[in-house]
Structure 1
Amino acid sequence: MNSPRLPRQISRLAVTGGGTGGHVVPALNLLEAARRELGAAILYIGTPGNLEERLALEKGIPFAGIPTSGFMGKSMRAKLTAVARVLPGVSESLRVLKDFRPDLLVGTGGYVQVPSVLAAALLGIPAFLLEPNGVTGWANRLLKPFAAGVVLPYGDKGPTGIPLGGGGRPDRPGRERFQGVLTILIAGGSQGARQINREVPKILKALLEKETLPLKIVHQAGESGERETRELYKNLGIEADVLGFDPSLSARYRSCALTIARAGAMTVAEITYAGTPAFYVPYPLAIGDHQRINAESVQRAGGGWVWSDASLTETSARAMELSAVLREPDRLREAGDRAWALSPGRPSGEWLLSLLDRGEGSKRGGMTVSK
């Protein structure tokens, strides 16, 4: 299929993607940057009643709901339901896109983007797909023939681009972040991570029983795990700021000394962009084992360390590893500096404009775009 002609500027932007924070946050980043920096009219296309609708409305972003449902890892009945929703979804997406008339559509991942990208292809609207992982997701594999391109996180010469919020790129981490009261941020993702929520507080308890380190603990437990995790910290006698889901978590990464987190592509991009060292705990059932691949790439570069999900129950061993890192500010700072140099993160406004840069071959504004 021939690619539609790219616009010379972006005056109307539609973004589709959702289901998890890893898909929703980059969508919000792009839309807010387009409105703030480009003065563009914006529209978020997602699944009604999901996380993306609530967060879009909270930020005053116009939202169009297209009923869709997941496919991968579902029962046969659920898969048939998902397939049956595609054609009605394309029909509704055609109506939405004809009414809004975007110059460009960006898909940030998840099953919700399927009908909108197909509709964009039928209408001749250029669509770009964000692929933040080292392993291409099923939706992007399906949609690639219908898109103007797939933006990859890394090219032959290193990082290319994952759209992040918070304005410009933060400076390399300063020494002050790793001195005095040390902030540890635990992040299990938008939906939480039961193993992290249950075991990391115990690891911190074991650490604090042996060390007198001044720590501030912030824990994003996911909306479903917030109450249980807060109660666990209380029972352990640990003071902690427990959150449900914070879409502005990227700002918190910039002020913490260490993070313990899952290793989804968006999470890794935000943490490394902030120059924050981390212990990554890859989700063991991630498709294609992509979280392990993400985490190990940071570990090889010296920007963090990897714990397996199962190893979190080895409380004493994990506490000793935490202690060894936290007692050496220079080691933390060096790891943060290496993480900063590795990050594929890029300011969202710059990311959008790079799509319009008619660079040679697969290069657009320094980003690697697969077609």
Structure 2
Amino acid sequence: MTGGANRHYVLAAGGTGGHLIPAFALATELERRGHHVALITDRRGAEIPGKPSFLPAHVLPAGRFGKNPLRWPGGLRAVLEGRKMALRLFDSFEPSAVVGFGGYPALPALLAATSAGIPSIVHEQNAVLGRVNRLLADRVQAIATAYPEIARLKPKHAGKVHLVGNPVRAEVLSLRDEEFPPLAEDGLLKVLVTGGSQGARVLSEIVPDGLAMLPPALRQRLQVTQQCRPEDIDAVRERYRSHDIPAELGTYFENMAARLGDAHLFIGRAGASTIAELTAVGRPAILVPLPIATDDHQAANTREVAKAGGARMIRQEKFAPKELAKQIQVLAQHPQALANAAHAAWNCGRPDAVKDLADLVEGFGGAEMMDVIRVGANTARGTTQGAPAAQGAARDKAGKPAA
């Protein structure tokens, strides 16, 4: 533990997996270091699977501010009520710092922290600074980021920026040092297809037909695992059957980490948690950003790994069977091409994200400022925090020195 005596921390996050997965990871690390942690979220967040058993969840009202101005007064009332409730929690819990992970439920807690004089930090999972984090950027003491380049981040806030990465689940991180699955010229090519927690209909419509357009020698080696919406699964099953492609379909897979570890190629959306897990494990991907994502942040999330050669990005309006087949062939034309792409993705991973974020958090509210300096040095200028660890001393997936 970095800071000495145990302390109290409050984490505040919106009620989706993208916000809560890194919050849960940080909570687990802080608890391991001997601290007490509480969570502020909305009703959805309090019920989401994966919350650590030691982590109490406090549900606060959190108003949303959409495009309709008629709803703004109600949203403001909810935020003010949530702020009052957060202040009451802070009076009894006495946190050393409050950490926000984005989403409207984080807003009341962070506003309360400012008014109570409690240090506050925000973590941005995406490559575009989210609305709530933009709103709070002036007030917080630190902005932790997952990517070297963050859009919608004002230059005046550069001094607050600390590149730490995006924490991932422990079961995913445990796969980082495993070799890329062996792939012979005539061996099975295992493809994993997911579209987020609910599946994506466009993937169900396009992927089976795209795989069917691959050259026969490649198509006959396919083994597909695909997550689908319940209402789509029968039609998808029939598509694969008509193409004579073996496919395991489901609406939810509990052992998704193990399936990612077995996969040679991933096809899916480009949410922050997805990118973090792909780069943690080192899996090549074809990414189809959600077109309605706020500020087009999913497309921005693909920039780093695509530039490195670990993924191909296809805009949804261009996502057609022929284009998918073309991009798969680019990545999978021979086993070494896939292995090279896997290594490129792996090099983009930041496996120390949760430790570096915990060090940053411990740097506020009583710890030595050396913690903040160590984590934040030069990262505001775009250097990669933890690069030596992330690059594994420049070794490839087989453990050999990289060329």
By the TM > 0.5 criterion, same fold? yes
Aligned in 2, Cα 1:112/1:192: closer, same or farther, shift over 3 Å? farther
Q: CA deviation at 1:11?
A: 3.5
Task: Return the alpha-carbon distance in structure 2 between the equivalents of residues 361 and 347 of structure 1.
Answer: 14
User: Does 1:240 find its partner at 2:235?
Assistant: no
Aligned in 2, Cα 1:91/1:321: closer, same or farther, shift over 3 Å? same
Task: Return the alpha-carbon distance in structure 2 between the equivalents of residues 15 and 306 of structure 1.
Answer: 33
Aligned in 2, Cα 1:364/1:309: closer, same or farther, shift over 3 Å? same
Q: With structure 1 as the length reference, what TM-score do the two structures score?
A: 0.83
Partner of 2:200: 193
Q: CA deviation at 1:368?
A: 3.5
Task: Return the alpha-carbon distance in structure 1 between the equivalents of residues 256 and 376 of structure 2.
Answer: 27
Q: CA deviation at 1:188?
A: 1.7
- Secondary structure of the 1:184 match is strand
Task: Return the alpha-carbon distance in structure 2 between the equivalents of residues 164 and 137 of structure 1.
Answer: 19
User: Does 1:282 find its partner at 2:289?
Assistant: yes
Q: Which structure 1 segments of 5+ residues have no match?
A: 1-5
295, 316, 338: which one pairs with 2:322? 316
Q: Which structure 2 segments of 5+ residues have no match?
A: 150-161, 364-368, 382-403
Q: CA deviation at 1:299?
A: 1.5
Partner of 1:54: 48
| Contact 2:42–2:59 (8 Å) recurs in 1 | yes
- Secondary structure of the 2:205 match is helix
Q: CA deviation at 1:171?
A: 4.1
Partner of 1:42: 37
User: Does 1:352 find its partner at 2:358?
Assistant: yes
Aligned in 2, Cα 1:81/1:99: closer, same or farther, shift over 3 Å? same
| Contact 1:46–1:53 (8 Å) recurs in 2 | no
Counterpart of 1:217, as a letter, is V
| Contact 2:359–2:375 (8 Å) recurs in 1 | no
Q: CA deviation at 1:327?
A: 4.2
Task: Return the alpha-carbon distance in structure 2 between the equivalents of residues 243 and 326 of structure 1.
Answer: 27
How many residues end up aligned between the 2 structures? 355
User: Does 1:298 find its partner at 2:305?
Assistant: yes
18, 34, 54: which one pairs with 2:14? 18
| Contact 2:289–2:298 (8 Å) recurs in 1 | yes
Q: Percent identity?
A: 28
Partner of 2:165: 161
Task: Return the alpha-carbon distance in structure 1 between the equivalents of residues 314 and 70 of structure 2.
Answer: 36
Within 5 A, what are the aligned runs for 1:58-77? 59=53, 61-72=55-66, 74-77=67-70
Q: CA deviation at 1:45?
A: 1.0
Relative to structure 2, which stretch is displaced further, 302-311 or 172-181? 172-181
Task: Return the alpha-carbon distance in structure 2 between the equivalents of residues 112 and 297 of structure 1.
Answer: 29
| Contact 1:258–1:276 (8 Å) recurs in 2 | yes
Compare CA radii of gyration and give the structure with the larger one.
2
Relative to structure 2, which stretch is displaced further, 342-351 or 264-273? 342-351
User: Does 1:176 find its partner at 2:181?
Assistant: yes
Aligned in 2, Cα 1:295/1:9: closer, same or farther, shift over 3 Å? farther
| Contact 2:180–2:342 (8 Å) recurs in 1 | no
CA RMSD of aligned residues (A): 3.2
Partner of 2:132: 139
Task: Return the alpha-carbon distance in structure 2 between the equivalents of residues 228 and 205 of structure 1.
Answer: 22
Aligned in 2, Cα 1:360/1:211: closer, same or farther, shift over 3 Å? closer
Partner of 1:3: none
Counterpart of 1:27, as a letter, is A
Q: CA deviation at 1:138?
A: 1.3
Task: Return the alpha-carbon distance in structure 2 between the equivalents of residues 19 and 209 of structure 1.
Answer: 44
Task: Return the alpha-carbon distance in structure 1 between the equivalents of residues 124 and 72 of structure 2.
Answer: 23
| Contact 2:266–2:285 (8 Å) recurs in 1 | yes
Partner of 1:230: 233
Task: Return the alpha-carbon distance in structure 1 between the equivalents of residues 253 and 89 of structure 2.
Answer: 29
Task: Return the alpha-carbon distance in structure 1 between the equivalents of residues 70 and 258 of structure 2.
Answer: 41
Aligned in 2, Cα 1:40/1:217: closer, same or farther, shift over 3 Å? farther
Q: CA deviation at 1:8?
A: 5.2
| Contact 2:144–2:163 (8 Å) recurs in 1 | no
Q: Deviations over 1:103-148 (max 9, x none)?
A: 3321111111000111122223222100122221110111122222
Aligned in 2, Cα 1:209/1:80: closer, same or farther, shift over 3 Å? farther
Q: CA deviation at 1:338?
A: 0.9
